Structures are given as C-alpha cells and as structure tokens.
C-alpha cells in the first residue's frame, strides 16, 4: 500500500484511504499520485511521438499533467527543459520592443533567444555524457556560456530578466564565434535587424554543436512551455507575447531539425482569442484536449487504485465504496454528468464526496446522502471557479448568472431576450468595452463557449467542445449545465417546485397502521367533495392530453408536467381513503396553485410557443378556485 498525505495509510478504513489527487499537476506530481495515477491518453502519446507541438485546452483538462509527466526522468529518451514565466518578469516580457520590428516579431526574437540559450546550456551538459573527444563546436559554445555567465546565468530561468534581455540588444559577447566588437554590426540599420543578426550567429552555433554530437532523433531536446496565463491580460502586449511564442516555436522546428523541439501548453481561451496572419500555419500542430465520459471513468478507477490498492475493480468502486446508483442513475454517470469534462473538476468532486462521507461518520463506504450533500457544495465552487477562469476574457460573466437563478434549467431564446433586455443597459454601463458582446446573441455565444449553457440539437443537448459549431441563429432552446444547477436553484426543467401532495403523508400513516379502508363520515362532505374531485380529475386528464400532444414543449418539461399532474390524479383517487380525512378543498386549491404557477412559468420562459397549454392551465386554475368557493352542490360556474 502506498505512502501519502503524511504517513502510512494501509490500516485506515477504506473511505479514509481513498484519494483522487491534488487540484493542480505540480502538487499532484510532488505527492506522487500523478506518477502512479497518470492516464496515458491519445493526446499524451501524440506529444511524446513528436506529432503535435501545440497542446490546447481549458483550465484543468490536464495540460500541465502532460507537461509534468514529460519532465519525468525516463519519460523521454532525450532531455527536457521546462520554461514557465516568472511573475516578477511580467512587465519586462510584455513591454519588450526592438526598433524596426513589429511587436509580434520582436517578441518572437525574444523567445527564440531564450530557447537558444537553454539549448546551448543543455548542449554543453549533454556533451559530457558522450564518450570521446569534445567537438570544436561544443567547445565554442562552452566558451560562449562562460564569457556571458553573469548575463545569462545557468539557472532554469535567466537571472534578472531586464539584464538578460539586454543581451539581445547588444550586451551579449559573441567573441567565441569570431565576432570581436559591436562594430561588426554597424552596417545593420535598425536595432531589430542587429538583434536578428546576433541571434542567427548564436543559433547557427547551437545547431552546429548538436550536429557535431550526432545524437539520434529520439534523443532530441524538448522545450516545454507552460503557464502562459500568468502573463496574459487580453491586451495587445500580451497577445503579441503569445503570438511571438508561437512564431518562435515554429522557427525552432524548422531551424534545428530533429535535435530540438518546442511543445507549448496553452489555454484555449487564450489561443482562440488571438488573431494573426500566420495563424493558419499552426493547424496541423494543434492538439485540443477533450475527455470522454469513458476516459474520465477510467482515470477515476486508476487514481482510486493508486490510493486504495491495485486490486480494486470497477464493481468494487461503484457498488462497494460508492453506492451503485444515485437518484436512480448509475453513480459514475450521475457524477460525471454534474462536472465539466476535465480531470480537475472530477478530482475535486470525488474528493469532496469522500470528505463529506468522513465528516458524516461514514468510514467504510460513501452513502448516497453524502454525494447529494457534496454535489451542492461542488456546484457552488464551480460557479465561482468559472468566473475566475474567464475573469480576463469575460469580466462580466458573474453578472449574467442572476438571469438563471431560481428558474428552470431549460431556457428559450425568447425568455433570455426578455431577461437580457431588463439588464442590458446596466451591463453596458458597467462594461462599456464589451458593448458589442452584451447583446442577446453575444451573451448566448459567450455562455455556450464557457460551458455554462448547452444547446438543443438533433442528437440531444450539446455543450461546447472540440470541433463543434457555435450556437446558430435558428437554435432557440438551451440547457443550463448540470454542474451549475444546484448553485443557482435551477434543479427542475420548468423552474417551479413539485406539486406538494396533501394526501401522501396520510396514506403512509394508514399503511403503517393497517387502516386502509377508513372512509370519512358525513354525507355532505362526500357529496360536495366528490364533485370537486371529479372536476379536478377532468381538468387533469385534459392537461395530460394537451401536454402529451404539444410539439412546443421540450421533452424534459413535458415529462415533468406529466409526472406532477399524475401525482395530482393520485391524490384525487386516494383522498377518500385518507385517515385522518383530507379536505377536498385543500386538494383542489393545491392543484389550482400548481396550475397557476406552471402557466406563469411557461409564459415567462417562452416554453409554450404554441400558446395552448398555458391559457388552459390559467383557465382551469381560475375555475377550480371558484368551484371551491361556490355553495354546497354548486358546480362552481355561477
């Protein structure tokens, strides 16, 4: 049994031993679970093989996990070097310029310079591992590094970015390559052109050094660039920084052949925000990470085995440690449908289920009640996390959530239009830079893009993912993602509470006592009550008929209506046998209130586009209330 989280875990109860890992790859790697619980996906294999060099995905999909795994000793036969931006160097990187070059190409030279220096340092270190005589090109590179030690350093990131960047502007000594003084560059007219000339000399030297060593292609050096979100602010400078990085990485691939390669790990919201002329040249290099439910379920089992024991089976996990079903659904299906399809969310959700179970005193297995309790907290976390994830790209996102609060999880374009119109002026006043986005179509597109809303299409409900169309103008029915429904109080399709049965508790009491055939005494109550319940049953039958035939109702709303109205019918049939008696007036008024609330919600949310069901519900609600208020024996019509 593994050691982790502070000590031996073998003797602990099952639930306490269960653990799915850390939220971030760096700490997950340090804990050791990423080493034993890493799933080698097609995305990982494509990067290892060298087929892809641009890994794109949302926050939490596993980009940094792939990066960390590649950094492991033995994961790659050649060398790897991790490059992440230094928080203290953000402004130096963003503001770097060279006279005579555009911002994108100045940043590209900067990145090429960094890559070349890192390659030079690796080259000298790696040459010592080769038997025999050190090639002259490697000796030259060693002399260059020694001469510029104070400027470029030997650490993972250059010492003092401001000083380091001055090397590209002219402070770097190139005497090892036969360049004696700055006078050699006097014929070059601009600062940018001189920097490019210096860099070419350095790149040629590094390439010659690799060629002279004769390493096989499999032993190439791979530069891993991650966490660029730390320096991105959705402005021109940070966009140029990322575009320059892309241009530099592509240049490395063409400059060094099989000896050096860059792999970039970029968040999809950053990459998709960019617009530059050479963007189409990266399509074959792109790899967008997307997880299927089956892959995530495999990952969960793999990580559970890493903590509980390699002998753990899927049936033991889903039916032994976890309950087999939750609210009638297979447990992994229930859990994975309520998380965005990415490992970080699933890890957080399952860990919260485990922590909740322990807090409730359940140490041998997790109960359904633990999962339901954890689901609410997880939903609240994810709503907050979504705001933070897109704070730079969509700073207004949090202000859109009240449009869906305490409502149905199905919403139409018509309903959204009326809600947006009430808040549009306020949003545009508070976020003037996003006026063009804060339209109905812009808001729908944004909410779909971030995974908050799904759209109804022929094959069901589609949430944003790889290679999927954006929302089309003719699409007008949307679903709030299950991940966020609990936090927003949007847990049923139509957005109204379930019909509150006034008979069920009485019937349950009768079953316990065995008094099934108790009939209320008093002829007048039975006579008038019988007429009221008959009227209610007729209304229910017509509602069921109209709802079943309505083409306008989404399937989920239709099912919800049929279920709740069916409960009303059951109440009318069970009322004569209830003990103690339940007044027919109370049953009819409860049903009338439900009909009225349902009609109002159907109208407000545009779910009754045919216009037939909502008016009928309102009419029946009014008639039932009048019937209850009529005199004994009256039909209630007078």
What are the tens digits of pLDDT across the range 234-275?
888 889 999 999 999 999 988 887 888 899 999 998 998 888
State the number of CA atoms in the 13 A half-sphere of 467 facing the CB: 6
Q: What is d(CA 247, CA 265) in angstroms, rounded to the nearest whole number? A: 14
Q: How confident is the model at residue 33 (pLDDT cuts 50, 70, 90)?
A: low
Per-residue pLDDT, averaged over 345-370, amounts to 94
Residues 194-214: tens digit of each pLDDT: 888 888 999 999 999 998 888
156: pLDDT strictly greater than 70 = no
Most confident of 80-89, 150-159, 542-551: 542-551
Question: Where in 3-72 does DSSP place strands (E)?
Answer: 3-4, 7-8, 54-57
6: pLDDT strictly greater than 90 = no
Q: How confident is the model at residue 509 (pLDDT cuts 50, 70, 90)?
A: very low
- Give the contacts of 276 (CB within 8 A, at least 6 positions apart): 104, 243
pLDDT at 605: 80
Per-residue pLDDT, averaged over 287-298, amounts to 91
Q: Enumerate the H helices of 325-466 as residue ranges.
A: 331-337, 343-359, 368-389, 413-430, 440-449
- Hey, which residues does 221 pair with through a beta bridge? 260
Q: Enumerate the H helices of 404-503 as residue ranges.
A: 413-430, 440-449, 482-488
Per-residue pLDDT, averaged over 545-565, amounts to 87
Q: How confident is the model at residue 301 (pLDDT cuts 50, 70, 90)?
A: very high
Q: 371, 382 in Cβ contact below 8 A?
A: no
Q: How confident is the model at residue 324 (pLDDT cuts 50, 70, 90)?
A: very high
pLDDT at 466: 60
Exposed, middle or buried: residue 74 (CB in 10 Å: 0-12, 13-18, 19+)? exposed
pLDDT at 510: 38
- The residue among 320, 303, 330 whose CA lies nearest residue 365 is 320
pLDDT at 158: 45
Exposed, middle or buried: residue 87 (CB in 10 Å: 0-12, 13-18, 19+)? exposed
396: pLDDT strictly greater than 80 = yes
What mean pLDDT is reported for the chain? 82
Per-residue pLDDT, averaged over 333-358, amounts to 94
Share of the chain above pLDDT 90, in %: 32
Taken in order of first residue, the domains within the chain and their CATH numbers are: 3-21+292-389 (1.10.8), 42-288 (no CATH), 399-488 (no CATH), 504-629 (no CATH)
pLDDT at 390: 92
Q: 593, 618 in Cβ contact below 8 A?
A: no
Q: Is 410 helix (H, G, I), strand (E, B) or coil?
A: strand
pLDDT at 1: 34
pLDDT at 526: 47
Q: How confident is the model at residue 460 (pLDDT cuts 50, 70, 90)?
A: confident
- The residue among 19, 23, 5 whose CA lies nearest residue 381 is 23
**What is the distance in angstroms between the CA of the first residue and the CA of the last residue of the chain?**
79
188: pLDDT strictly greater than 80 = no
Judge if the upstream peptide bond of residue 314 is cis by omega within 30 degrees of 0: no
CA-to-CA dists, residue 369 to 323, 325, 338, 373, angstroms: 10, 11, 16, 6
pLDDT at 579: 60
Sheet containing 80-83: which strands, arranged edge to edge? Answer: 80-83, 221-225, 260-267, 54-57, 286-288
Q: Which two tokens stand for residue 44?
A: 């990982």
Q: How many CB atoms lie within 10 A of CB 82?
A: 17
345: pLDDT strictly greater than 50 = yes
536: pLDDT strictly greater than 60 = yes
């Amino acid at each position: 049994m593994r050691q982790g989280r502070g000590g031996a875990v073998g003797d602990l109860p099952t639930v306490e031993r269960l653990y799915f890992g850390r939220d971030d790859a760096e700490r997950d790697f340090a804990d050791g679970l990423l080493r034993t619980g890493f799933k080698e996906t097609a995305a990982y294999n494509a990067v290892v093989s060298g087929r892809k060099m641009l890994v794109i995905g949302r926050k939490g999909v596993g980009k940094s996990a792939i990066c960390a795994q590649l950094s492991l000793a033995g994961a790659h036969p050649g060398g790897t070097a991790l490059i992440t931006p230094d928080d203290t160097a953000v402004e130096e990187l963003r503001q770097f310029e060279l006279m005579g070059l555009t911002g994108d190409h100045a940043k590209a030279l900067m990145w090429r310079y960094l890559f070349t220096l890192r390659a030079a340092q690796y080259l000298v270190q790696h040459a010592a591992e080769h038997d025999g005589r050190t090639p002259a090109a490697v000796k030259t590179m060693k002399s260059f590094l020694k001469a510029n030690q104070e400027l470029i350093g030997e650490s993972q990131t250059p010492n003092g970015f401001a000083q380091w960047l001055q090397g590209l502007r002219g402070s770097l000594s190139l005497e090892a390559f036969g360049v004696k003084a700055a006078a050699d560059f006097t014929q070059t007219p601009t600062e940018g052109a001189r920097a490019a000339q210096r860099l070419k000399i350095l790149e040629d030297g590094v390439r010659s050094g690799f060629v002279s060593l004769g390493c096989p292609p499999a032993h190439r050096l791979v530069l891993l660039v991650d966490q660029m979100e730390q320096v991105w602010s959705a402005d021109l400078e940070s966009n140029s920084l990322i575009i320059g990085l892309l241009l530099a990485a592509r240049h490395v691939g063409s400059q060094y052949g099989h000896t050096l390669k860059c792999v970039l790990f970029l968040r999809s919201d950053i990459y998709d925000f960019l617009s530059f002329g050479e963007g189409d040249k990266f399509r074959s290099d792109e790899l967008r990470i997307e997880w299927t439910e089956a892959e995530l379920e495999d990952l969960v089992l793999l990580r559970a085995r890493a903590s509980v024991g390699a002998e753990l089976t899927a049936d033991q996990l889903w039916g032994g440690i976890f309950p087999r079903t939750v609210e009638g659904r297979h447990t992994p299906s229930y859990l994975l449908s309520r998380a965005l399809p990415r490992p970080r969310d699933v890890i957080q959700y399952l860990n919260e289920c485990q922590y909740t179970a322990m807090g409730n005193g359940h140490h041998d297995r997790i109960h359904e009640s633990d999962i339901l309790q954890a689901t609410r907290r997880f939903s609240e976390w994810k709503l907050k996390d979504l705001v933070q994830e897109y704070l730079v790209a969509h700073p207004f996102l949090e202000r859109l959530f009240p449009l869906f609060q305490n409502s149905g999880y199905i919403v139409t374009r018509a309903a959204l239009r009326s809600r947006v119109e009430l808040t549009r002026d306020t949003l545009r006043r508070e976020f003037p830079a996003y006026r063009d986005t804060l339209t109905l179509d812009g808001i729908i597109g944004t909410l779909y893009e971030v995974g908050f809303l799904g759209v109804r299409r022929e094959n069901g409900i589609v949430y944003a993912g790889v290679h999927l169309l954006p929302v089309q103008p003719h699409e007008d029915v949307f679903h709030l993602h299950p991940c966020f429904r609990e936090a927003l109080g949007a847990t049923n399709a139509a957005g109204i509470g379930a019909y509150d049965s006034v008979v069920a508790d009485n019937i349950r009491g009768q079953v316990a006592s065995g008094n099934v055939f108790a009939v209320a005494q008093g002829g007048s109550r039975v006579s008038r009550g019988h007429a009221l319940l008959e009227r209610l049953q007729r209304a229910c039958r017509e509602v069921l008929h109209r709802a079943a035939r309505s083409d306008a109702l989404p399937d989920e709303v239709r099912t919800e209506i049929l279920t709740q109205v069916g409960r009303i019918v059951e109440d009318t049939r069970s009322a004569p046998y209830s003990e103690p008696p339940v007044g027919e007036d109370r049953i009819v008024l409860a049903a009338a209130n439900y009909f009225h609330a349902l009609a109002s919600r159907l109208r407000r949310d545009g779910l009754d586009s045919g216009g037939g069901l909502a008016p009928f519900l309102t009419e029946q609600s009014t008639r039932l209330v009048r019937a209850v208020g009529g005199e004994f024996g009256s039909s209630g019509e007078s």
